Copies of this chain bind each other. A is one copy, B any other.
Amino acid sequence: MDFELAAALKQPSDSKVILCVLDGLGGLARPETERSELEQSNTPNLDRLTEKADVGLTVPVGIGITPGSGPGHLALFGYDPYRFDIGRGALEAVGIEFPLGPDDVAARGNFCTLAADGTISDRRAGRIATERSTALVERLRSITLDGAEVFVEPVREHRFVLVLRAPDLGETVTTTDPQREGAAPLPARGADPASERTAALVNDFVAKALVLLADEEEGNGITLRGFATYPALPQLEDVWGIRAAALAVYPMYRGLAKLAGMRPLACPEGMEQQIAVAREHWDEFDYFFVHYKKTDAAGEDGSFAAKVRALEEFDSHLPGLIDLGADVLMVAGDHSTPALMGAHSWHPVPFLLSSRFSRGGSSQHLTEHECLRGSLGIFPAVEAMPLALAHAGRLQKYGA
């Protein structure tokens, strides 16, 4: 549903909606057992919910497309991930919960090692330790630029974020990373007057950084790429008329939720804690995004057993989530992370929506195979939002 139609159809309601994202939910069968993580796990609460719910499989972005966390979540929040493509620099800044604003241009930075002739000998400065690069970032923070505020933030290992803040900066700036060793870093170039201004600031920053880093053996240079301005997404309240809260612990998901206009609530780690915070704020919001990270972490580690345990742990918290008493409860994933692959994948993701208007009766377990037979079929993740709001009585009839 496009946002113009959404704005035309939205109607007020007292109903509550929960979107619980099990990060990296979808999996693949282990050849030895021919069972996926979901098929292997013992999830009696989820099974009971599945019997009466609408289930299906979401395609996060498109067939064959492996989503990052950004597009995977934004799709579930109702944003077409092609149309709302958040630049790498902005996503990196959001991912460390940097309070990115409308006057900011963010870039991903790498510390690199330069040879005596100025060419790059190591693009990642030997994957310098986070502690060491944090000290280097501290040094770069002394840099001042004419006409722009400068923020430098450590990320992990050789990575950092640079944010330039000034009115009317452009984002169409070429990378300074030659993408290979043996070549020198490139000067930044802007494609239009606003971006040329950004590029000039970037080149000035790099020149000053090289002076400050000159005595380093590893990490005596930097590269910058993925320049991106603040992604001004249409806000959930304007589009759908919902006040939304995020119960997420990791900065990346809190940041993504904030971009959509959700309020990230202060939240200690753990589903039980997240559910408790949701209960405290139950009357203030219409929509609650609850993020569960352990499924993805286990999948990324390639640990089938850990992912099964993460699913079973989630299942033990499900009654608490149900007890909140939402009119619509979704259990979804932003993408698949099969332990077999140890990485995100393009596979469609099991999806469940429980409301009193669910058709139910199509599946017994929330697994990749049973969801195939579900009442929702295979559908784009971006449709989860209008579907949920229909079940919540928050969308009027289209046409007479």
Q: Which residues of A contact B (CB under 8 A)?
A: 1, 5, 9, 28-29, 34, 36, 57, 61-72, 81-82, 85-86, 88, 91-92, 95, 338, 340-341, 344-348, 357, 359-362, 368-369, 372-379, 383, 385-391, 395-400
Contacts and interface: CB of A to CB of B under 8 A. Distances in A.
A390 B66 contact: yes
Contacts of A5: 82
A272 B379 CA distance: 40
Secondary structure at the A interface, as helix, strand, loop or mixed, is loop
Given A65-B390, A372-B377, 19 more contacts: A1-B62, A1-B65, A34-B360, A34-B361, A61-B398, A61-B399, A63-B386, A64-B387, A64-B391, A66-B395, A70-B399, A91-B399, A95-B400, A341-B357, A346-B390, A346-B395, A347-B357, A362-B372, A372-B375
Most buried by B among A85, A348, A377, A398: A398
A360 B369 CA distance: 9
Nearest to A358: B28
A346 B399 CA distance: 13
20 contacts: A29-B359, A62-B383, A64-B383, A64-B391, A65-B395, A66-B395, A66-B396, A67-B397, A67-B398, A70-B399, A70-B400, A81-B398, A91-B399, A341-B357, A345-B390, A346-B387, A346-B390, A347-B357, A348-B375, A372-B374
A357 B36 CA distance: 12
Nearest to A34: B361
Q: How many copies does the complex hold?
A: 2
A395 B344 CA distance: 12
Given A63-B387, A81-B398, A373-B372, A345 B357 contact: yes
Contacts of A61: 398-399
Contacts of A398: 61, 65-68, 71, 81
A238 to B, nearest CB: 18
A36 B360 CA distance: 11
A369 B377 contact: no
B383 A63 contact: yes
A383 to B, nearest CB: 4
A29 B360 contact: yes
A397 to B, nearest CB: 5
A373 B374 CA distance: 9
A86 B398 CA distance: 11
A396 B72 CA distance: 15
A400 B88 contact: yes
A34 B399 CA distance: 31
Given A362-B372, A379-B63, A28 B68 contact: no
Contacts of A91: 399-400
Contact of A400 (B68, B374, B396): B68
> Which 4 pairs of residues, A with B, have the shortest CB-CB distance?
A64-B386, A68-B399, A64-B390, A63-B383
